Amino acid sequence: MSASTQELQQGFQSDALLAWYDDHRRRLPWREEPSPWRVLVSELMLQQTQVRTVLPRYETFMELFPSPAAMAEAGEEAVLGAWAGLGYYRRARALFAISQRLVQDFSGEVPGDAKTLEQLPGVGAYTAGAVASIAFGQVVGLVDGNVERVLARFMGEGSPLRNAAGQRLLWNWANNFVDDKRPGDHNQALMELGARVCRPVSPRCGECPLHGGCQGDEKWSEIPNLPKRPEVVPVVEENRYLLVDGSDHVAWRRRPETGLYSKMVDLPEEWTPGVDAILLGEALIERRLSHRLLRLKGRAFRVQSLPSGWESGPVDDFLHAGPPKAVALLFEELRTHSEVC
The verdict on pTM exceeding 0.85 is: no
**Range 233-245 average pLDDT:** 88
Q: Beta-carbon neighbour count of residue 97 at 10 Å?
A: 16
**Range 212-232 average pLDDT:** 60
Q: Which of 59-68, 191-200, 233-242 has the highest mean pLDDT?
A: 59-68
Query: How far is C-alpha 148 from the chain's CA centre?
Result: 18
User: Over 60: is that where the pLDDT of 219 sits?
Assistant: no
User: Over 70: is that where the pLDDT of 182 sits?
Assistant: yes
The residue among 266 and 86 whose pLDDT is bigger is 266
Residue 85: band (very low, low, confident or very high) from pLDDT cuts 50, 70, 90: confident
CA distance 301 to 278: 5
The answer to whether residues 266 and 329 touch, using CB atoms and an 8 Å cutoff, is no
User: Over 60: is that where the pLDDT of 230 sits?
Assistant: no
In percent, how much of the chain has pLDDT > 90? Answer: 44
**Range 294-306 average pLDDT:** 89
> Domains, the chain, ranges and CATH?
5-213 (1.10.340.30), 235-338 (3.90.79.10)
In percent, how much of the chain has pLDDT > 70? Answer: 90
- Radius of gyration, CA atoms only, the chain: 24
**Range 193-203 average pLDDT:** 88
User: Over 80: is that where the pLDDT of 292 sits?
Assistant: no
What pLDDT score was predicted for residue 7?
57
User: Over 70: is that where the pLDDT of 2 sits?
Assistant: no
Burial 72-87 (b: 16+ CB within 10 A, else e): bebebebbbbbbbebb
Q: Beta-carbon neighbour count of residue 178 at 10 Å?
A: 21
What pLDDT score was predicted for residue 218?
53
Listed in sequence order, the DSSP H helices in the chain are 5-10, 14-24, 29-32, 36-46, 51-64, 68-74, 76-83, 90-105, 114-117, 125-136, 145-155, 164-177, 183-196, 315-320, 325-338
**Range 305-317 average pLDDT:** 86
Q: Which of 107-121, 144-158, 223-237 has the highest mean pLDDT?
A: 107-121
- 131-168 per-position pLDDT tens digit: 999 999 999 999 998 999 899 888 888 777 878 888 89
Which of 71-75, 193-197, 306-310 is the least confident region? Answer: 306-310
What pLDDT score was predicted for residue 201?
79
What pLDDT score was predicted for residue 1?
40
The answer to whether residues 86 and 57 touch, using CB atoms and an 8 Å cutoff, is yes
Active site includes 218?
A: no
Burial 282-296 (b: 16+ CB within 10 A, else e): ebebebeeeeeebeb
Torsion 17-22-24-25 (CA) sign: positive
What pLDDT score was predicted for residue 186?
96
**Range 2-27 average pLDDT:** 78
Residue 236: band (very low, low, confident or very high) from pLDDT cuts 50, 70, 90: confident
Contacts (Cβ under 8 Å, ≥6 apart) of 312: 245, 249, 250, 251, 252, 306
Instruction: Look over the chain and give the mean of its residue pLDDT values, rounded to a whole number.
Output: 86
CA distance 72 to 213: 48
Q: Annotated catalytic residue: which of 7, 32, 33, 43?
A: 43
Which of 123-137, 256-270, 294-308 is the least confident region? Answer: 256-270
CA distance 160 to 194: 19
